């Protein structure tokens, strides 16, 4: 199934080739003046400059190659050499029919499917999820769905932080409270957890704050971390209890967002691979001693940066910094487990591509890890990508906090958004005749749509302001608005079924029908852009444009009112095609649509 823009691009490329011009200039894009044309090609200007020709005359010669093609109604030259193209009503109708009937509603599979691992989520075990985990979860889930939709074999991996210094801090804190006495020696150890999730939420911030002030406690926690990683049986048993208590809460919070994983792995799963990996790094001469620690130098020859020493002296050092593999206390570091995780993924998934959906502030860390992986032969250049993203900010432009200045728990944010969704539904008089159970289900869907669309409608590299009032509105560019449009079409289709009106062949007659068919056709380009740029915002933008175009069509072209059966059947088929494509686009964003409101 080929979209119209791609078909026209082929035709324009053939015209450029016939004139002996570079085909890479034959780009076709949607017209920025829809009142004049459906598509345009501006390549004649650049081609004329290279050929030292008059651009308008050259555009005219190119246009003659396009005239008479069955899909083209007219070709006009505008301005200094813009080629404006209008397609026929018949080809638009055929394309809309393809969209309605196709399993991918207008999109297509990739030419060469790949094996892809998407690393997203990434919360730390023993800490509650907070708003800082929202973007990774939402963006990663959407990319997983998109890559799978386009034909790739995809694994989504939560990659929990469950093996670092925070575990040592918690064990040391439990020892100080006398709650680890039964976890000494070699066991057997208690099967009931000595800690609850509430305990962990209390203990961790206190222990982290204490470690900043109390060097003896910090050093003991570091030693505890090293002993845990070395296999201390009591510490391993304590770790398992903390891990399991945390996992139940993490699964609850991810589930509330509609986020799922194929692999529920963490840093601890890479631990058994670390000894072999270290030996490989040693054998290849990559692991070197550095002030009691062991590092891999990843900077290429000549790559340097200036560094200011504590005494004020400025020196030149290699850049990026070396990857710290083994600390001076003998424990594995974050970079160590990240590198070993790449080894695990190479062994288990034999990946072609790994995408890391992680805060942009971790860019330097991933550059170190990726370079080390390539040096060690665990990945090829280009197989590892860090997809950084901006932050969700408060009205002050800084990362979102509670009114008291603390970090908001993700569970609290979700419930806050659900409460706002309930209020919005009541304000709009929606769902009043439904059972309380169905109403709550709809409120949950509206809340998730509000959060996800607000995030994904932005390019992932930018930050945005959290505005719950705007996000939950049923008007404007919001998730709830898109749900309302989908539910409106579902209601229309139920009414049509009740009146025995059936869909028929699609015909394009009215301007609003034409505009709607062109937007349906554009789904392929939106899916390709989102896939290639790893940016779901292209899908979000398309879904919004589709909803807007349907709203215009609905107002201008009564669907069930016309007396002519052919017209009713055509317009109903267009509405049904819109619903199919809109629901697919929303599903790729991780948004479920209710049946009614």
**Considering the entire predicted model, what is its pTM?**
0.92
pLDDT band at 404 (very low <50, low <70, confident <90, very high): low
Domains 4-87 and 419-588 agree in fold:
no
Is the pLDDT confidence value at 403 over 70? no
* pLDDT tens per residue, range 54-77: 999 999 999 999 998 999 999 999
Strand partners, 156: 118
Query: Percent of the chain having pLDDT more than 70?
Result: 99
Q: Which residue has the higher pLDDT, 478 or 315?
A: 478
449-461 pLDDT tens trace? 999 999 999 999 9
Average pLDDT, the chain: 94
Rounded to whole angstroms, the Cα distance separating 413 from 472 reads 13
Q: How many Å apart are CA 86 and CA 137, to the nearest integer?
A: 42
- Taking a C-beta distance cutoff of 8 angstroms, is the pair 285, 377 a contact? no
Query: Once rounded to an integer, what is the mean pLDDT over residues 492-517?
Result: 96
Rounded Cα gap, residues 406 and 400, in angstroms: 9
DSSP 271: G
DSSP 404: T
DSSP string, 88-128: -HHHHHHHHHHHHHSTTTT----SS--EEEEE---PBTTS-
Q: What pLDDT is recorded for position 121?
A: 87
Whole-angstrom distance, CA of residue 505 vs CA of residue 94: 9
Q: How many CB atoms neighbour CB 34 within 10 A?
A: 13
- Regarding the domain delimited by 4-87, which CATH topology (the fold level of the hierarchy) does it fall under? Gyrase A; domain 2 (3.30.1360)
- Could you state, in order of their start, the residue ranges of all structural domains in the chain? 4-87, 419-588
DSSP conformation class of 162: -
Contacts 24+ apart (CB under 8 A), 130-134: 130/407, 130/408, 130/409, 130/410, 131/392, 131/399, 131/400, 131/407, 131/408, 131/409, 131/410, 131/413, 132/359, 132/391, 132/399, 132/407, 133/410, 134/257, 134/392, 134/410, 134/413, 134/451, 134/455
Q: Which CATH superfamily is domain 419-588 in?
A: Isoleucyl-tRNA Synthetase; Domain 1 (1.10.730.10)
Condensed to tens digits (0 to 9), the pLDDT of residues 332-371 reads 888 999 999 999 999 999 999 999 999 999 999 999 999 9
- Residue 353 β-bridge partners: 116
Residue 117: predicted pLDDT? 98
What integer pLDDT is reported at residue 234 of this predicted model? Answer: 96
* Alpha-carbon distance values, 114 to 264, 463, 534 (Å): 21, 30, 15
- Report pLDDT for 555: 96
CB 579 within 8 A of CB 490: yes
Predicted local distance difference test score (pLDDT) of residue 297 = 95
Q: Band of the pLDDT at 38, cuts 50, 70, 90? A: very high
Alpha-carbon separation of residue 107 from 453, 462, 530, 570 (angstroms): 21, 27, 12, 22
Across 391-409, average pLDDT:
81
pLDDT mean over 284-298: 95
Distance CA(167)–CA(170), nearest Å, equals 5
* pLDDT single digits (tens) 310-320: 777 888 877 88
The C-alpha atoms of residue 323 and residue 471 are separated, in whole angstroms, by 41
pLDDT at 405: 64
């Amino acid at each position: 199934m080929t979209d119209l823009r791609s078909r026209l691009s082929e035709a324009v490329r053939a015209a450029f080739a016939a004139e002996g011009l570079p085909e890479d200039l034959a780009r076709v894009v949607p017209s920025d003046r829809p009142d004049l044309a459906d598509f345009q090609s501006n390549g004649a200007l650049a081609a004329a400059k290279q050929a030292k020709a008059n651009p308008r005359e050259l555009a005219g010669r190119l246009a003659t190659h396009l005239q008479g093609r069955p899909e083209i109604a007219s070709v006009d030259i505008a301005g200094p050499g813009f080629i404006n193209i209008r397609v026929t009503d018949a080809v638009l109708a055929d394309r809309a029919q393809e969209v309605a009937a196709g399993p991918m509603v207008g999109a297509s599979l990739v030419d060469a499917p790949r094996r892809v691992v998407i690393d997203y989520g990434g919360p730390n075990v023993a800490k509650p999820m907070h708003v800082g985990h929202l973007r990774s979860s939402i963006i990663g889930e959407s990319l997983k769905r998109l890559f799978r939709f386009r034909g790739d074999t995809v694994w989504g991996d939560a990659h929990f932080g469950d093996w670092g210094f925070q575990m040592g801090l918690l064990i040391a804190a439990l020892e100080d409270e006398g709650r680890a006495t039964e976890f000494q020696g070699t066991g057997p150890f208690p099967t009931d957890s000595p800690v609850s999730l509430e305990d962990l939420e209390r203990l961790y911030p206190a222990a982290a704050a204490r470690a900043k002030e109390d060097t003896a406690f910090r050093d003991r926690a570091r030693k505890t971390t090293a002993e845990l990683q070395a296999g201390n049986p009591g510490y391993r048993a304590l770790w398992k209890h903390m891990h399991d208590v945390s996992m139940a809460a993490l699964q609850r919070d991810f589930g509330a967002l509609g986020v799922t994983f194929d692999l529920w792995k963490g840093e601890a799963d890479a631990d058994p691979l670390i000894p072999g990996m270290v030996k490989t790094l040693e054998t290849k001469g990559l692991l070197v001693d550095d002030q009691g620690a062991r590092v891999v130098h990843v900077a290429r020859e000549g790559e340097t940066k200036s560094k200011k020493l504590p005494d004020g002296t400025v020196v030149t050092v290699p850049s990026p910094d070396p990857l710290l593999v083994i600390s001076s206390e003998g424990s594995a570091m974050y970079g160590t487990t990240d590198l070993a995780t790449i080894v695990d993924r190479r062994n288990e998934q034999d990946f072609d591509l790994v995408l890391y959906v992680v805060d942009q502030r971790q860019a330097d860390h991933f550059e170190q890890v990726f370079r080390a992986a390539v040096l060690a032969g665990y990945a090829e250049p280009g197989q590892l990508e860090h997809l950084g993203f901006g932050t969700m900010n408060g009205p002050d432009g800084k990362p979102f906090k509670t009114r008291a200045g603390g970090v908001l728990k993700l569970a609290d944010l979700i419930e806050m958004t659900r409460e706002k969704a309930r209020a919005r539904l009541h304000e709009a008089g929606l769902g009043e005749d439904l059972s309380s159970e169905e109403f709550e289900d709809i409120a949950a869907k509206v809340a998730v749509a509000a959060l996800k669309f607000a995030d994904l409608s932005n390019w992932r590299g930018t930050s945005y302001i959290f505005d719950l009032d705007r996000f939950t509105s049923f008007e404007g560019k919001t998730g709830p608005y898109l749900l309302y449009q989908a539910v409106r079409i579902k209601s229309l289709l139920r009414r049509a079924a009740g009146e025995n009106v059936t869909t028929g062949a699609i015909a394009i007659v009215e301007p609003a029908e034409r505009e709607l068919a062109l937007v349906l056709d554009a789904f392929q380009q939106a899916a390709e852009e989102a896939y290639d740029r790893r940016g779901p915002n292209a899908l979000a933008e398309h879904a919004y444009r589709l909803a807007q175009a349907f709203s215009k069509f609905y107002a201008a072209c009564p669907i069930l009112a016309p007396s002519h059966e052919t017209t009713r059947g055509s317009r109903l088929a267009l509405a049904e095609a819109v619903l199919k494509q809109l629901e697919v686009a929303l599903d790729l964003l991780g948004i479920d649509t209710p049946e009614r409101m």
